[in-house]
Structure 1
Amino acid sequence: MFILNSINKKLENNNYKLTEQRAIVLDVMVENKGKHLSAEDVLYKARKKAPSISMSTVYRTLEKLSSIDVLYKTMLDKGRFRYELCKDEYHRHHHVICIDCGSILEVKVGEELLSSLETHLEKKGFKIKDHELKSYGHCPKCNKG
């Protein structure tokens, strides 16, 4: 329930009108909390609820929800963005992506490691706003071959 209250507050603060089709896209994301969905994944799932929803509506909705921090948008595979529901203000988990099957595993990295790197970069004049770490390899299933 906390997530829905947080989302509603963000929508309201950004004067974002939640039309029926936009609500369906948001429902898909909430129902798939913790998953990293492509726009095509969202479209497929949204069409089960609203067969006439268009890809452009899905794209525009995903982009808008990302811009107001309801969704986190990241490029995990070659040239394709993935979207996931924001758990809080800051995205603080990272990803390991299988280069064979495309599976994605979320990992928590010791914040002290990345905090140390950010401190080093800030001493060099950079103002760090966020960080993202992606590792690529073979998942246990694909590595058995």
Structure 2
Amino acid sequence: MENFRTFENICNLLRNHSYKVTPQRQTILHMFVEHVDRHLSAEEVYMLVKNENPEIGLATVYRTLDILAEIGVLIKNDFGDGRTRYEFSRKDEHHHHHHLICLRCGNVSEFDDDLLESLEAVIMKRNHFKVSDHDLKFYGYCSKCEGAQ
């Protein structure tokens, strides 16, 4: 994944939206830059950052994640496990990438091939409906869990 979201770019984006770049937000941002491939819940973010900055509270993590999603740095995902997960948005994507979700271990991986473009063209032609985005999730079992069923 092309990571156009450098720490400095995100800090500037926060400032441009009239948000302060507090030490707590910096710690959370550094954690996301270090774990760019992961789809993290607020609780997972909290567990990762509290080791570095023990005074950060869970409410601060939630507020920061909401702000980062509001300004387009993060995307909120619902994978059906009762927790919102966050990941970096991709500047170069027309559509969101897709997710493969293991029903046993909960692992989430990304599937980048967008095979739905031809379906969108058919939808537009037949229904006179221009699709601006879609969200696709595949639920099943990863290679580690497949044999354990």
Identify the TM-score tier after normalising by the shorter chain. Answer: 0.7 to 0.9
Shift in alpha-carbon separation, 1:38–1:107, aligned structure 2, 3 A: same
Distance across 2 between alignment mates of 1:14 and 1:127: 31
Q: Tell me, yes or no, if structure 1 residue 27 matches structure 2 residue 30.
A: yes
Counterpart of 1:62 in structure 2 is: 65
Distance across 2 between alignment mates of 1:75 and 1:49: 27
Q: Tell me, yes or no, if structure 1 residue 12 matches structure 2 residue 15.
A: yes
Equivalenced residue count is 143
Shift in alpha-carbon separation, 1:49–1:70, aligned structure 2, 3 A: same
**Fraction of identical pairs, as percent:** 43
Q: How does 1:31-110 map to 2 (within 5 A)?
A: 31-88=34-91, 90=93, 92-109=96-113
Deviates more, 1:9-18 or 1:115-124: 115-124
Deviation at 1:87, TM superposition (A): 3.0
Counterpart of 1:142 in structure 2 is: 145
RMSD, aligned CA? 2.1
Deviates more, 1:134-143 or 1:83-92: 83-92
CA contact (8 A) 1:69 1:89 kept: no
Shift in alpha-carbon separation, 1:114–1:48, aligned structure 2, 3 A: same
Distance across 1 between alignment mates of 2:105 and 2:26: 31
Counterpart of 1:130 in structure 2 is: 133
The superposition leaves residues 56-103 of structure 1 with CA deviations (integer Å, 9 ceiling, x where unpaired) of 110111011011111111012322111112232645321100000101
SS, match of residue 53 in structure 1: coil
SS, match of residue 83 in structure 1: strand
One-letter code aligned to 1:101: C
Shift in alpha-carbon separation, 1:120–1:137, aligned structure 2, 3 A: same
Distance across 2 between alignment mates of 1:73 and 1:39: 11
Unaligned runs of 5+ in 1: none
The superposition leaves residues 5-47 of structure 1 with CA deviations (integer Å, 9 ceiling, x where unpaired) of 4423422332221111111111111111111111111000110
Distance across 2 between alignment mates of 1:8 and 1:120: 42
Unaligned runs of 5+ in 2: none
